[in-house]
Amino acid sequence: MALLCRVAAASLRVSRSRPLVAAAVRASSAGAQYQHILVEKKGERGNVGFIQLNRKKALNALCDELMREVGLALDEFENDPEIGAIVLTGSEKAFAAGADIKEMVDKTFQECYAGNFLTHWNHVTTGKKPVIAAVNGYALGGGCELAMMCDIIYAGDKAQFGQPEILLGTIPGAGGTQRLTKAVGKSLAMEMVLTGDRISAQEAKASGLVSKVFPASDVVDEAIKCGEKIASNSKLIVAMAKEAVNGAFELTLAEGNRLEKRLFHSTFSTNDRKEGMNAFVEKRKANFTDQ
Ligand code: CO8
């Protein structure tokens, strides 16, 4: 694999909006090599990171290497000062049909437990920059969980969400029983997890799992537009806002309100808070510097 990467690196040239594609390994705009994902910068200002899962034949089943690559690409964007938001998407047929069952079929409890099997997926939730999932087609099992690890979910009108692990004799392991329940409530989450039944994009919208539904062909562009809108704000303050909202999932109301208040107070130590309020008073557009 390392040799393959080096050979491909020598033969690849990369453009900002459309990376050229080699047989098996692709380079991101920062030059990193990926086999299972496409990585670009999108948006008029190139300030939206774009990660596309690209194992189409396997319906973007989330094999270990793919998720490792997603983690690397997220790190790449996290460390890129130009990037203000990230869009994660799959193909029109599948955002992702779950963890790779073929990779899991022979695993033992001992291997899973001792090796902390798939724990590295949590990496998706640890960044400061907002991640928007643009979901078309199947978002099943680990695919639904991956979407729920993102900060915002946009869905195409043919998207389907489900936690079908029960049909495989297992249960969700990447937050499906927790994030789904917080998003849609106990009754629907319990029904989905216990029966393996899927819900449509429209049901996902009605139950609060996704924020917007678009025609399938528009959902990626709309997610990028949302990313551009977020990226036009102060990256420093956006990170604080994300931290505060995430507090609502992890803390009691009192602790969450305390965290929010401290972060709110902290904005008063930043140049961007001064700039934002002065710009309003002076009736001009704010020029944020992320300081
Ligand atoms: N894993 C591996 N391969 C898959 C997966 C998968 N999850 N889903 C689809 N594929 C493969 C198929 O095997 C097939 O490959 P091949 O052509 O080599 O036979 C190819 O993708 C196309 O699939 P189908 O022929 O089945 O396509 P259909 O259009 O007929 O059906 C479905 C599409 C309904 C999506 C069907 O493929 C399906 O049911 N897939 C499995 C869905 C599923 O059960 N997902 C849950 C997996 S378990 C899980 O995600 C646990 C997560 C725990 C994470 C813990 C992290 C800490």
Which residue bears the tokens 């990037």? 83
**Best of 55, 57, 59, 106 for a ligand 1 pocket test (most atoms within 8 Å of beta carbon):** 59
Q: Per this entry, what is the length of the chain? A: 291
Position 25 confidence tier, pLDDT thresholds 50, 70, 90 = low
Q: Which domain holds residue 181?
A: 2-231
- Catalytic residues, by residue number, are 99, 142, 145, 165
Q: 76: closest CA among 21, 32, 10? A: 32
Task: Please tell me whether residues 261 and 211 are part of one structural domain.
Answer: no
Does residue 203 contact residue 155 with C-beta atoms inside 8 Å? no
Say which CATH number the domain at 249 has. 1.10.12
Q: How confident is the model at residue 13 (pLDDT cuts 50, 70, 90)?
A: very low
How much is the average pLDDT of 24-37?
A: 75
Tell which one of 91, 93, 101 to mutate to probe ligand 1, the residue whose CB is within 8 A of the most ligand atoms.
Answer: 101
pTM comes to 0.91
- Which has more confidence, 31 or 164? 164
Q: Judge if 207 and 242 occupy the same domain.
A: no
* Residue 287 maps to a domain: no
Rounded-to-integer distance, Cα 196 and Cα 259, Å: 37
In a domain, residue 249? The reply is yes
Q: Report the CATH number that the domain containing residue 46 is assigned in CATH.
A: 3.90.226.10
Q: What is the mean pLDDT of the chain?
A: 91
Q: With respect to residue 286, please indicate whether it lies within any of the assigned structural domains.
A: no
Residue 101 lies in a domain: yes
pLDDT tens-digit readout, 220-257: 999 999 999 999 999 999 999 999 999 999 999 999 99
Q: What total number of domains does the chain contain?
A: 2
Q: Is 152 helix (H, G, I), strand (E, B) or coil?
A: strand
